Structure 1
Amino acid sequence: MLRSFQVSNHRSLAGAQELRAGRGNGVVAVPVTAVHGAAAAGKTNLVDALAGMRAAVLESVSGWDPYAGPVRTPHRGFPDRPSEFVADFVAEGAPYTYGFRLAQAEVAAEWLYAHPRARKRIVFERNGDQVRVGPMFEAARYGVAAVAPLVRPNALLLSLAGQLYAEALAPAYRWFESMLEVQYGPVAAEQVAHRLGAHLSKSPENAARLLVLLRASGLGIEDLLLAEPDPRYADHLRELDADIAATGAQLDLCANSPGHAERLLREHGVTEVLLDRELTNLRAARDALYARMVDRRGVGLSLVHAGVDAAFDIAEESTATLSLLRLLPTVLDALDGGKVLVVDDIGTQLPVEETDRLIQLFQNPQTNARGAQLIFTTGDRAVIDRSNGRSPRTATAVWRIRRGDGVSELTRV
């Protein structure tokens, strides 16, 4: 769950801006948060800031040039000011605040706080090359202290500690890695086919559910055809799918039966957190194996339209169809995993009715049983008005972004 996101000096977001994904102060999250604004108001820059924060956590150690400054995009009017990013979120059942400040040549500051029982506890604070571990995390001191001297001035400590699996920092790192997905910018038809094929190949239930939504869209698609897996990968994919299903079933039993969770811990030393981490690892391994198979032989995906005998390649589909095919797998994966999904310009190429149907999936407790969140931007106020005609408990939290004198400002509606 994402409670709030703050950013300053990123593209047109010059001053400090905060997006709260919930009611009041953002502590009680709502399933859907919308950001409305005119063209060039800064909607994409806000999404880009959140995507940039995630990328920094995952890539600053392995992907940033070790001899250059941190990767950042400050406002053109304030290139010398630092850029700051802060996220409040819940990872593995615990609230965290994580943030960092990027100067031109180095990471000027970085911090991670936990909030058990609504009380702030320092996990670590970094100022320049000095790292302080909080007194409540003495058990983690050795792990963090061992990692800290290895981190470059232009890389994040959380990035390095997460990749080296420092236990105290693992929940925060894994949240950015596995529980936050940001979708924006152009994408090639091949990438859409890859994600769609991966989703369809995981289970017949996935394929059936996606096809129901696709048929209801009115785009004329009657069926999806997916080639059988390469025999060199098929057995391993089936084994991973079986392990994913079994681990997911155990997690569901733990959630619905405290006695089952206690028995697992007593008899096998396994907690719900460990099960959840194992499920994430299995899904990542499955995705990696599927990607290797696709690199060798392609996705093998085609679409059947009503009244047309020959199947279509995905590259032949309309812009609206590609937009929906891009959204559907990410939406369904987010609902299945209880993720935070951020989508820029959610309904640009789609009818309002179809966009609203996707939003309803997050607002309906029956289709969103795992507490997934949708955060989206739009220039069409009708998308928001339709989704807010429902119960107050599931109403969309609405924000407006405006741009004046080259600076974007975010306000609650």
Structure 2
Amino acid sequence: MAQPQQLRLSRGTTGPLAVPVTAIHGVAASGKSSVIDAFARMRDAVLHSVSGWDPYAGPQRQPHLEFLDEPSEFVATFVAEGVPYTYGFRIDSGDVLAEWLHAHPRSRKRIVFERNADEVKIGPMFEAARYGIAPLVPLVRPNALLLSLAGQLYAEALVPAYRWFATNVAVQQGDSTTEQLANELGSHISRSPDNAARLLMLLRTADLGIEDLLVTEPDPRYADYLRDLDTEIAALVHHLDHGTVDPVLAERELGTVRAARDALYQRMVERSGAGVSVVHEGIKQAMELADESTATRALLRVLPAMLDALDTGQVIAVDDLGVGLPVEETDRLVQLFQNPETNSRGAQLIYTTANRALIDRNNGRSQRTRTAVWQVRRSAGVSELAPL
């Protein structure tokens, strides 16, 4: 977007209260997808600027065509391991111009670090962390983020912020290839029988004629390892739910084990394939995902990611939620986040839509439905985001 825009995922004046659902409405080409793209680009920069960006090129960005020489700035305020943080960075087509991380314990600002080009200042309240951050400063490239390097090298003071982007943010943009769709479905189903049963129940009630999902048994070379990781994940979740372990350390361990599980599953399907097919009512032969309707593929794409977000308390941003689906079915997906019984871990859904009917189905400004609605308008080539 050409001008700075702010999206709040909380409401309240006496104290911020997280809103489970944030809807962003706008007509076609209004710029609403740019909001979701900003989430994706910020997350990608934090996780991959060190390992994924070309070390001899400038930062990866997509500036507004009318403001190519203007820097791009990203800022996020979030809570990681019980502490509020503000993290941001400013980049142009050549370098990282500025980067900062502030903590806000008890509503007081504490500088963790502030970077201005090659100069890095470590806050006086984080003197003990200086020995973990200072040695990294000469190693960070001009076109990479210090938080990215610190997170990958496990600099303790910056781990909470880095891990928030790694494990607490999910983004869905565009359509998935058949291979991606099969991998995501297979991975979600294979984690536990409960996952498979819940997913199948929601699919059967979607009025798409789906009766069952068939998934190839895990490759024997990987099955035992996957089963061990699933058992470890279930044990950690049980201890967290019952308060028998340190929640910070357990959450870190849980994120690590889940990432290892996902990586192992991906390695398995690269060798053997996911082998997912769909059984429809009245049709004996199972259908391949490539042969499914647009509506079925749309639901199969978004549902596993949303259920994962509900299970882990993620912030999930979905562009064009409900494209190809009846508005009633899309509304049911939104209600999963609005209902405290299905959203017990405080997950937050951000979605864009051009369908005003979805916004008007009791999902508007009502406190009862716990949804905030924002509008994107375009004027003279510039998009503006504002609460509706």
Structure 1: state its 5+ residue gaps. 1-12, 255-259, 265-270
Say if 1:61 and 1:155, in contact at 8 Å, map to a contact too: yes
Instruction: Verify: 1:100 aligned to 2:89, yes or no.
Output: yes
Instruction: Verify: 1:16 aligned to 2:4, yes or no.
Output: yes
In 2, Cα distance between the equivalents of 1:394 and 1:373? 13
Following superposition, the deviation at residue 24 of structure 1 comes to 4.1
In 2, Cα distance between the equivalents of 1:353 and 1:90? 33
User: 132, 136, 143: which one pairs with 2:132?
Assistant: 143
User: 195, 203, 210: which one pairs with 1:214?
Assistant: 203
Instruction: Verify: 1:286 aligned to 2:261, yes or no.
Output: yes
Q: Which amino acid aligns with 1:165?
A: Y
In 2, Cα distance between the equivalents of 1:290 and 1:238? 11
Q: Which amino acid aligns with 1:384?
A: I
Following superposition, the deviation at residue 348 of structure 1 comes to 1.2
In 2, Cα distance between the equivalents of 1:70 and 1:301? 38
In 2, Cα distance between the equivalents of 1:387 and 1:285? 40
In 2, Cα distance between the equivalents of 1:281 and 1:109? 30
**Deviation string, structure 1 residues 359-404 (Cα, Å, up to 9, x no partner):** 0000000000000000000001111221427961542101000111
In 2, Cα distance between the equivalents of 1:176 and 1:338? 13
Q: Which amino acid aligns with 2:56?
A: Y
Output aligned runs, 1:326-405, within 5 Å. Answer: 326-388=301-363, 392-405=367-380
In 2, Cα distance between the equivalents of 1:393 and 1:93? 27
Say if 1:22 and 1:33, in contact at 8 Å, map to a contact too: no
Output aligned runs, 1:249-264, within 5 Å. Answer: 249-254=238-243, 260=244, 264=245
**Deviation string, structure 1 residues 312-358 (Cα, Å, up to 9, x no partner):** 11111011100000011001000000000000000111100000000
**What is aligned with 1:273?**
248
In 2, Cα distance between the equivalents of 1:246 and 1:340? 24
In 2, Cα distance between the equivalents of 1:241 and 1:314? 26
Say if 1:384 and 1:396, in contact at 8 Å, map to a contact too: no
Q: Cα–Cα, structure 1 residues 16 and 117, in superposed 2: closer, same or farther, change >3 Å?
A: same
List structure 1 runs of 4+ shifted beyond 4 angstroms: none
Say if 2:63 and 2:72, in contact at 8 Å, map to a contact too: yes
In 2, Cα distance between the equivalents of 1:390 and 1:74? 33
Say if 1:113 and 1:124, in contact at 8 Å, map to a contact too: yes
SS at match of 1:70: coil
**What is aligned with 2:153?**
164
Say if 2:22 and 2:373, in contact at 8 Å, map to a contact too: yes
SS at match of 2:324: coil
Q: Cα–Cα, structure 1 residues 273 and 393, in superposed 2: closer, same or farther, change >3 Å?
A: farther
**What is aligned with 2:62?**
73
In 1, Cα distance between the equivalents of 2:66 and 2:291? 43
Q: Which amino acid aligns with 2:19?
A: V
Equivalences, count: 387
In 2, Cα distance between the equivalents of 1:44 and 1:31? 20
**What is aligned with 1:257?**
none
In 1, Cα distance between the equivalents of 2:369 and 2:161? 27
For structure 1, which segment, 381-390 or 217-226, has the greater mean C-alpha deviation from structure 2 after superposition? 381-390
Q: Which amino acid aligns with 2:295?
A: A
In 2, Cα distance between the equivalents of 1:249 and 1:345? 35
**What is aligned with 2:78?**
89
Q: Cα–Cα, structure 1 residues 103 and 391, in superposed 2: closer, same or farther, change >3 Å?
A: closer
In 2, Cα distance between the equivalents of 1:29 and 1:394? 13
Say if 2:364 and 2:372, in contact at 8 Å, map to a contact too: no
In 2, Cα distance between the equivalents of 1:39 and 1:307? 38
Output aligned runs, 1:51-70, within 5 Å. Answer: 51-70=40-59
Instruction: Verify: 1:197 aligned to 2:172, yes or no.
Output: no
Say if 2:365 and 2:371, in contact at 8 Å, map to a contact too: no
**Deviation string, structure 1 residues 23-58 (Cα, Å, up to 9, x no partner):** 146922100001000000001111111110000001
Output aligned runs, 1:230-241, within 5 Å. Answer: 230-241=219-230
- Considering only aligned residues, what root-mean-square deviation do their CA atoms show, in Å? 1.3
**Deviation string, structure 1 residues 177-220 (Cα, Å, up to 9, x no partner):** 11000101232011011000000001110000000100010000
For structure 1, which segment, 237-246 or 382-391, has the greater mean C-alpha deviation from structure 2 after superposition? 382-391
**What is aligned with 1:406?**
381
In 1, Cα distance between the equivalents of 2:216 and 2:317? 30
SS at match of 2:130: helix
Q: Cα–Cα, structure 1 residues 389 and 127, in superposed 2: closer, same or farther, change >3 Å?
A: closer
Q: Which amino acid aligns with 2:111?
A: I
Structure 2: state its 5+ residue gaps. none
SS at match of 1:397: strand
SS at match of 2:361: helix
SS at match of 1:307: coil
TM-score (norm 2): 0.98
Q: Cα–Cα, structure 1 residues 184 and 296, in superposed 2: closer, same or farther, change >3 Å?
A: same
SS at match of 1:17: coil
In 1, Cα distance between the equivalents of 2:366 and 2:12? 17
In 2, Cα distance between the equivalents of 1:386 and 1:142? 54
Following superposition, the deviation at residue 227 of structure 1 comes to 1.3
SS at match of 1:321: helix
